[in-house]
Amino acid sequence: MTEYHRWTATEAVNRLRTGDVTPLELIDAAAERIAVVEPAVNALPTLCLDRARDRARNLQRPATADAGHLYGLPIAIKDLTNVAGVRTTFGSSLFADHVSDASDLMVERLERRGASVVAKSNTPEFGAGAQTFNDVFGVTRNPWNTELTPGGSSGGSAVAVATGEVWLAQGSDLGGSLRIPAAFAGCVGLRPSPGRVPHGPSKLPFMVNSVEGPMARTVQDIALFLDAMCGMHDEDPISLPAPVRSFQHAVAQGRPPKKIAFSMDLGITPIHRDVRAGTEAALKCFADMGTEVVPLDMEFGDAEPIFQVLRAAQFAAAHGETLALHREKLKPEVVWNIEKGMALTADDIGRAERARADIYHRFVRQFDDVDLVVTPTVNTPPFHADTRYLEELDGQPFESYISWLAMTFALTLTTCPAISVPGGFTPDGLPLGLQLVSRPRDEASLLGMARHFENAAGLRDRLPVDPVVRH
**DSSP β-bridge partners for residue 215:** 169, 189
Task: Give first-to-last CA distance, the chain, whole Å.
Answer: 30
403 is catalytic: no
Query: Residue 361: what are its φ and ψ, rounded to 5°?
Result: -65, -40
- DSSP string for 125-183: GGG-SSS-EETTTEE---TT-TTB---SSSHHHHHHHHTTS-SEEEEEESSSTTHHHHH
Identify the sign of the CA torsion 134, 137, 139, 140.
negative
E strands, 264-413, are 292-295, 372-376, 392-393, 396-397
Catalytic residue among 92, 121, 153, 263: 153
- 3-state DSSP assignment of residue 9: helix
Burial class (CB in 10 A: 0-12, 13-18, 19+), 164: buried
Single-letter amino acid, residue 273: R
- 3-state DSSP assignment of residue 259: strand
E strands, 275-322, are 292-295
Going by DSSP bridges, is the β-strand pair 292-295/168-173 parallel, antiparallel, or unpaired?
unpaired
210 is catalytic: no
List the helix and strand counts (H, then E) for the chain: 14, 15
153 is catalytic: yes
Q: What is the DSSP letter of 93?
A: G
The candidate with the shortest Cα–Cα distance to 119, out of 151, 159, 146, is 159
Catalytic residue among 92, 154, 177, 420: 177
**Residue count of the chain:** 471
The candidate with the shortest Cα–Cα distance to 166, out of 294, 258, 42, 33, is 33
CB proximity list for 324: less than 8 A, separation 6 or greater: none
The residues assigned a catalytic role are 78, 153, 177
